[in-house]
Structure 1
Amino acid sequence: MKKSDHCLLSWKRTRLQSPSGDKKTDSRAKAKWDRYMRCDGSPDPSVQQEINTFINLWCEDPEVQIKPILKECALALRLLEELEGMLRDQPEPADALRYQETLLSIQTLIQSKLDHSTEEILKWANAHSDIETGNMQTDDIITLCLWANLNKNPRHVTDVWFQFEEVGLGFELPKQLAVSDVAVRILHTHYDHLSHLANLKSQNPSRMSLGLGTREELLLEGATPVGECGEMEGDGDRRGSTQQGGAEEEVQSVRGSEGRKSAVSVISMKEEGRSGQKQLEDAQQKLEENGSQIDTMLEGDDSGEGDSTPTPMDPVIDSYEGQVVDLQQYTPLGGVFYCDVFRLPPQSQQLNGWEMRELLDTGLQPFPYPTEQTQIQGSASMKLEDSGVLTSPPVGVTVTLPDSVLFLEDPQVARWDPEGQHWKTDCISETSYDQAERKISFKMDSFYAFTLLQDSYANMPFQSWELRPLGQDSALLTITAALTEVSITIKARTRYLKCMLQSDQERGLNHILGQWMSPSGLQKAMVSAGVNIFVNQYSDKYVSVNAKDPLIEHAVYEQMALLSSAFAFSWSQWNTQCGHERLVLQVCEHLDPVPVREDSWCVYLLGARRSQRLRIKEHSEAFSPELDPGSEFHSTFLHMLRDGMSPAGQERRSHHLFVDAVHRLLRATRPLTYS
């Protein structure tokens, strides 16, 4: 090896690995600058005093109208995004625990505010009732659908079916609920704040090993727990459960004419960010047990803007009871649907020109269902011929798949178990999927929070892949996966690095196709949209892989990245026939931004001690390690390619940001092993 070449490789490796810490600092500085430029007075979540003040003031705010609540939720969701970004930067354990507690406090507060707003709408259900329009309002990230059973005729009533057409959500109530004073809420959050609770539960690091102090030393200084903010205490307990443990109270019925069921209100909001719903005490207890790691669901290199490789949770399939979802194998897509039934608050009555209303201080009350051995009574139910013990038929639900998600296979349904803190597939039956309408229907034995699942590795193993240059500091990575083909354009300039996704599959991907993003942002967007081509340390347990020596494999990725502005690389069928300690791929120098001609490719055999160009071609009849005449052995892949480069190719000096981005994408997808 020439001394100059050795120095070049060492310098390139240093440039490849050095930006990590600087990028984390730049990421935090950019977040602070963006907040300053917004000039909206939003708090800095990294400053404990500011975020505590925000939480306390919002907690004490008596506002219950939906519009102001949704506006405040938008700000809270942005703060959650910043907190998650800070957690991805892998802070000190004590800081990480503090960030997580703050994050869970805000999530709980968001859910509590939505519950209060729901209660206010239901108190005035008669005034808000509009059968024709459903009082539909739409926004971006939260969809809140409310239906109140205002008028009933117990003699003629059957199961109730109602559809919120504009958002593609519907439900079917059994007869015993159709004659009760109830309201149904379907809250669709286009983010998922439940799955990371399951991840935290599955992780079990020791507090002592993290160097954490006592609980009192790590509590949010000055922050008022959500449970102490007026009537908010216990709101988290109303969420996510099946409402099975409620009191056996009499159900009032409204005196009215022939059975008319009224759609009361549907208020939707969809905003960028994330929201939470578990009670803070439970969440903080979980944090005490589980330490300070948070699962980001992304896999890449350990450098870059928010790109640090998360530590995936250990597979826990063997220790889980049956029907618990393994979040290493399945990915929740399209957010979370919270399906609840509540007692309808007393409505106003007109008497001699006066409007009278019974005021209760009980808050939003879940309606217990199923009601095991509970006889539903009241003026309506007493008229039923079958006034004995009622059974509890399942509740039907219909969901149109969100437009922002691509399901490569028929989706599966899982419901949230708030006690076990994980997703489960039990209590769900009669599932059917209409692929043409993109609509899934199923029944649940009670009211649950549920989500739609897809196999995380439905697109693996890959069928083929290609990395080719498009010019100076620009390249195109194309992966033909098992069910779809995607292309990622990588482009670097002096001060920025961007990636863009391209695909022939438009449904479910329109919102991210053709959009320039950071590498970490693109990975996150692709996983959230259902196009996962990224792997982690446990992926080989779920995918049939072409196992290779990891040290050799990652060394090849590094050298490919260094030359990706001048050389094209591609999949080779012979890679499966060369053994565990060697790699085979196709390579050619390529300086034009056009597809590579088939006759331009050469086959290379790479090992730990030497690399060589082979005599065989991709379409030869059999594999042979015979050296190509006119070539020679080289100690590294990089030096072998550089020795044969044209003068024009040697002039292409890649920017370190570009090299770093290509390297991270190759390590995140590992095409030499997963093809």
Structure 2
Amino acid sequence: MVKKKLSKRELERIAEAEAKKKQQEEEAERQRLRKEEKERMKKEQARAREKAQKEANEHENRIQTLSKSCALFNEMKEKKLQKDIKSREEEDWILYLKCDGKPNPGNLGEMNTYLYLWQLENDSDYIDNTIIRCTEVLKLLDVSDNLINNPLNASENLVKNWKEVRQNFRTELQTRIDNATFSILRNLEQNMISIDLSTVHYLKECPHFILGLWTEIINPHPWNYEPVAPTVDFSQIGVSLQVPYQLAKEYYVIRVLWVKYNHYSDISMTWNSKPLLPEYNRDLFTLNFEEYEQKQQLKKMIEEELRIQREREKSKRKKRHTKTTTEPEVMAQNETTTKPTTEPLPVETESGLKEIPEQERKEKESKEKTEITDNTEVITPVTATVNLQRSPSEILLENEENLKTILKEYLKTEVKEKEINMRQRIVLGGVFHINLLEQPSQPKILPDRTILTIIHGEPKIRHLDYYEVYVPPPPKEEEDKPLHSTDEPEAEKKPEEDSLNRLTLINITLPDTVLWFDTPIAVQWRDDINQWTTEYIYDSRFNEEKQVITFRVGKMAPIGLSTARFINLPYQAWEMRPDWKGGPGGVFFSITAATIIIEFIIRNNKVCINSLQNASGNALQDLVGLYFEPNRLIRMLQKGGVDVFPEHDAFIYTEGITPKHWITENHIYQCMALLSTTYNFSWSRWNLLAGQKKIVMQIREFLDRKRLPNYSMLLVTPQRTIVVDCTEVSQAFSEQGIQGMEYYPDLYWLTQAHASSTSKEKIEKADLMLVQTVNLILTRTRVFSFS
């Protein structure tokens, strides 16, 4: 059957019907999309309202609970401060009643009087008297250090005066040792021991310093005498030196004075860290309250900007509508006809840009009206007042990141080339005063048996004028050269070698009073800039097997051995729990550092080292088992090479470290300290990967060590603390709370809801001094930021 051919009119009718059908389908699709968009918007708005209400409820919870815990911790800090002040006053009163002739280091008048009377004495210039006075003065200076490092309620001006008096004592002590040296040198043959016919030496050792002297006695020599620059070994001190050849014909005294204390580093320009910015001195409640208020203000600003934007869009649509309705009339008056189009003509906007087609404009407008009023997402165009493309949380996060950048730049300490940054390095093992001194005039016996000593100028030691400028040669590229045969003549001495030999060669064996974890470098103290520097030190080498550092110097100045300060960071693990061995009321705290394992026992307001493992020597072992005030123990450990007490700027100089949120970290330490007699806390491998604002650790209640429960995983953020559904051996970390976990603003309130009655009773009766001492150790070690 032949298919009837459709006419042109019928084809047009079918095409019109299909077009109409397609248009109806498209309209139906648009209606469906609009309906889905409305439903989505309703759901989003419902979720936003639900989240906003949840945030409001949590904020109300924080106001009611977190404010109480922060107030409790602040009250405990204040009580501890008042107890410490009272204890210091009692110590002052005991010193006053002793009347033993020794001053109170905290009393400026007594210290200045003591110093004045000391300066009037002459008998202390003799070495034995100097040793006695050194012991007495160093005890006073140790107390002064404690006052300065822990000033309590002392004013800044008083602390400044303490430092000034301390420095005066240090200067006078060094002067007395120098004077004792001069009194020995005034009569070489009587006071020193002969090595041979022409040389004498001297050695004096005490708990605080070792003094070694060597010199040649002036004797007649034949006319062709060609002396050789000597190499002098002070084996008891661990120092040897070779005098440069240009001084071979000089008569001088070599003094090696090793003082086991360091009175230079803490007056260095880079010793003290810069204080934290005020934003970091708030408590956790104040932080959350202020951030919540800022977030609400930002929400209002964004909503206002959106309202203004909607009004503008409404005004633009109204103008477009008026313009499109008047165009046909204008065209009729001009008797101009145009072919109708399916889309409106582009219309110029106020900005000079053409408007998009109506259908696309409506779809885009529908999307731009999508307003998510929660604190996670707001998708709107950018305005000059507030960036509508970011949520309040994103804006606050950006502000916080900017503050961290400012803090890092502010805390960073810059030093000149060859100067030592004491924020990054430390000088250990005391100070070596290696000097070339002029030989003073010796006594002469006159014919009438009278002894006459002619002294030129002031009777004190005089340093030999020794200063050599050395410019190291530029490094040369290695060349492939044939080896010289043994019968070839020896090559002439190169000019740079001759220049190098004009420097003094020094060898120092590392003192065994320090644990050395890093290869040290030799540094010298410069009084003119109050800095340790390597400016006059050249050709430094280290023999690891013999533990000897060798270097040359072009100028004589006090020498120290500098090493990296935080070589034991980051930590590998840590644990804190009640101490079951020493009876109730004690806390065990251990740190597995990069090299060593150190354990502390904390009782009341004292701390002891329980054990020190993996150390490279026996240094500091005499401190094990002895209880000290925590700040004093920290200083002793740092001087012994064990610095596991990073300050707030240590992250700048430590690789691979991302510090945790400062305020949150301090708050959790206070919570842990309060719970330390009844809970067991431990390191978690998830902490490092959790990010800056999240702290992760393991926790369990510790009532009976024979029946300990399994660890739970604790997640702490600035806004909440929860036990998460995760373990240390899980394949991935989960931030989802365990079933039934409610909202808690911090660890204290979480344990108040879930701890046993026994634990709650122990927490309520916790000793204030113990809690605050534990808190001090935690805040000084900062195990969350550095593990």
| Residues in 1 aligned to 2:65 and 2:704: alpha-carbon distance in whole angstroms | 26
| Residues in 2 aligned to 1:92 and 1:446: alpha-carbon distance in whole angstroms | 41
2:777 to 655, 665, 670: 665
Alignment match, 2:113:
53
Q: Is residue 12–residue 562 contact of structure 1 (8 Å, CA) maintained in 2?
A: no
Summarize deviations over 1:174-226 as a string: whole Å, max 9, x none.
23333311111122222222122223898999xxxxxxxxxxxxxxxxxxxxx
**Mapping for residues 540-559 of structure 1, pairs under 5 Å:** 540-543=651-654, 544-559=656-671
| Residues in 1 aligned to 2:770 and 2:500: alpha-carbon distance in whole angstroms | 64
- Secondary structure of residue in 1 paired with 2:579: strand
1:518 to 615, 629, 638: 629
Comparing 454-463 with 103-112, greater Cα deviation is found at 103-112
Alignment match, 1:404:
513
- Relative to structure 1, is the Cα distance of residues 92 and 553 closer, same or farther in structure 2, using a 3 angstrom cutoff? closer
Cα shift at 1:371: 6.7
Summarize deviations over 1:117-140 as a string: whole Å, max 9, x none.
111110111212314695433211
Alignment match, 1:366:
463
Cα shift at 1:350: 5.4
| Residues in 2 aligned to 1:463 and 1:651: alpha-carbon distance in whole angstroms | 33
1:581 to 690, 693, 701: 693
2:282 counterpart of 1:170: no
**Mapping for residues 203-214 of structure 1, pairs under 5 Å:** none
Comparing 429-438 with 412-421, greater Cα deviation is found at 429-438
- Secondary structure of residue in 2 paired with 1:333: strand
Runs of 4+ in 1 over 6 A off after TM superposition: 1-8, 200-205, 389-392
Identity of aligned residues (%): 23
Summarize deviations over 1:40-90 as a string: whole Å, max 9, x none.
311234444433332222212222311112222332223323333333316
| Residues in 2 aligned to 1:176 and 1:427: alpha-carbon distance in whole angstroms | 18
Name the amino acid aligned to 1:101.
E
- Alignment: residue pair count: 548
Q: Is residue 574–residue 618 contact of structure 1 (8 Å, CA) maintained in 2?
A: yes
Name the amino acid aligned to 1:620.
S
Alignment match, 1:112:
175
1:147 to 214, 226, 249: 214
2:513 counterpart of 1:452: no
Cα shift at 1:413: 1.3
- Relative to structure 1, is the Cα distance of residues 345 and 639 closer, same or farther in structure 2, using a 3 angstrom cutoff? same
| Residues in 2 aligned to 1:126 and 1:178: alpha-carbon distance in whole angstroms | 21
2:537 to 406, 418, 428: 428
| Residues in 1 aligned to 2:447 and 2:146: alpha-carbon distance in whole angstroms | 60
Name the amino acid aligned to 1:190.
K
Summarize deviations over 1:447-477 as a string: whole Å, max 9, x none.
1111111211111111111111115321111
Q: Is residue 412–residue 652 contact of structure 2 (8 Å, CA) maintained in 1?
A: no
Cα shift at 1:343: 0.7
**Mapping for residues 68-147 of structure 1, pairs under 5 Å:** 68-88=129-149, 89=151, 91-131=154-194, 134-147=201-214
Alignment match, 2:371:
none
| Residues in 2 aligned to 1:200 and 1:37: alpha-carbon distance in whole angstroms | 40
- Relative to structure 1, is the Cα distance of residues 35 and 145 closer, same or farther in structure 2, using a 3 angstrom cutoff? farther
Cα shift at 1:557: 1.2
Comparing 408-417 with 349-358, greater Cα deviation is found at 349-358
| Residues in 1 aligned to 2:428 and 2:226: alpha-carbon distance in whole angstroms | 40
Cα shift at 1:529: 0.8
| Residues in 1 aligned to 2:573 and 2:500: alpha-carbon distance in whole angstroms | 55
2:255 counterpart of 1:185: yes
Summarize deviations over 1:623-649 as a string: whole Å, max 9, x none.
222332354443332222333323433
**Mapping for residues 356-395 of structure 1, pairs under 5 Å:** 356-363=452-459, 364-370=461-467, 393-395=502-504
- Relative to structure 1, is the Cα distance of residues 421 and 578 closer, same or farther in structure 2, using a 3 angstrom cutoff? closer
2:424 counterpart of 1:329: yes
| Residues in 1 aligned to 2:686 and 2:543: alpha-carbon distance in whole angstroms | 41
Cα shift at 1:156: 4.7
Cα shift at 1:600: 1.8
Comparing 443-452 with 539-548, greater Cα deviation is found at 539-548
Cα shift at 1:145: 1.8
Q: Is residue 122–residue 148 contact of structure 1 (8 Å, CA) maintained in 2?
A: no
- Relative to structure 1, is the Cα distance of residues 415 and 2 closer, same or farther in structure 2, using a 3 angstrom cutoff? closer
Q: Is residue 612–residue 633 contact of structure 1 (8 Å, CA) maintained in 2?
A: yes
- Relative to structure 1, is the Cα distance of residues 124 and 313 closer, same or farther in structure 2, using a 3 angstrom cutoff? farther
Q: Is residue 466–residue 568 contact of structure 1 (8 Å, CA) maintained in 2?
A: yes
Comparing 335-344 with 195-204, greater Cα deviation is found at 195-204
1:40 to 100, 104, 129: 100
Alignment match, 2:727:
617
Cα shift at 1:12: 4.1
| Residues in 2 aligned to 1:406 and 1:26: alpha-carbon distance in whole angstroms | 37
Cα shift at 1:102: 2.0
- Relative to structure 1, is the Cα distance of residues 584 and 317 closer, same or farther in structure 2, using a 3 angstrom cutoff? closer
Cα shift at 1:658: 1.1
Alignment match, 1:199:
269
| Residues in 1 aligned to 2:212 and 2:410: alpha-carbon distance in whole angstroms | 37
| Residues in 1 aligned to 2:506 and 2:170: alpha-carbon distance in whole angstroms | 26
Alignment match, 1:339:
434
| Residues in 2 aligned to 1:474 and 1:430: alpha-carbon distance in whole angstroms | 51
- Relative to structure 1, is the Cα distance of residues 149 and 551 closer, same or farther in structure 2, using a 3 angstrom cutoff? same
Alignment match, 2:603:
491
Summarize deviations over 1:289-336 as a string: whole Å, max 9, x none.
xxxxxxxxxxxxxxxxxxxxxxx9975643x32111001000111121
**TM-score of the superposition, structure 1-length normalised?**
0.74
2:658 counterpart of 1:562: no
Larger relative contact order (Cα-Cα within 8 Å, sequence gap ≥ 6): 1
- Relative to structure 1, is the Cα distance of residues 204 and 465 closer, same or farther in structure 2, using a 3 angstrom cutoff? closer
Cα shift at 1:361: 3.2
| Residues in 1 aligned to 2:516 and 2:246: alpha-carbon distance in whole angstroms | 36
2:641 to 518, 530, 537: 530
Name the amino acid aligned to 1:432.
R
- Secondary structure of residue in 2 paired with 1:600: coil
| Residues in 1 aligned to 2:416 and 2:66: alpha-carbon distance in whole angstroms | 54
- Relative to structure 1, is the Cα distance of residues 198 and 2 closer, same or farther in structure 2, using a 3 angstrom cutoff? closer
For the pair shown, the structure with the greater C-alpha radius of gyration is 2
- Relative to structure 1, is the Cα distance of residues 147 and 2 closer, same or farther in structure 2, using a 3 angstrom cutoff? closer
Alignment match, 1:158:
228
- Relative to structure 1, is the Cα distance of residues 456 and 27 closer, same or farther in structure 2, using a 3 angstrom cutoff? farther
| Residues in 1 aligned to 2:271 and 2:774: alpha-carbon distance in whole angstroms | 34
Summarize deviations over 1:342-382 as a string: whole Å, max 9, x none.
11012234576845543333332211013789xxxxxxxxx
Summarize deviations over 1:575-617 as a string: whole Å, max 9, x none.
23333322211111123468x97x8212122223332222221
**Structure 2 runs not aligned, ≥5 long:** 1-60, 276-407, 471-497
Cα shift at 1:438: 2.9
Alignment match, 1:600:
710
Name the amino acid aligned to 2:102.
S
Alignment match, 2:128:
67
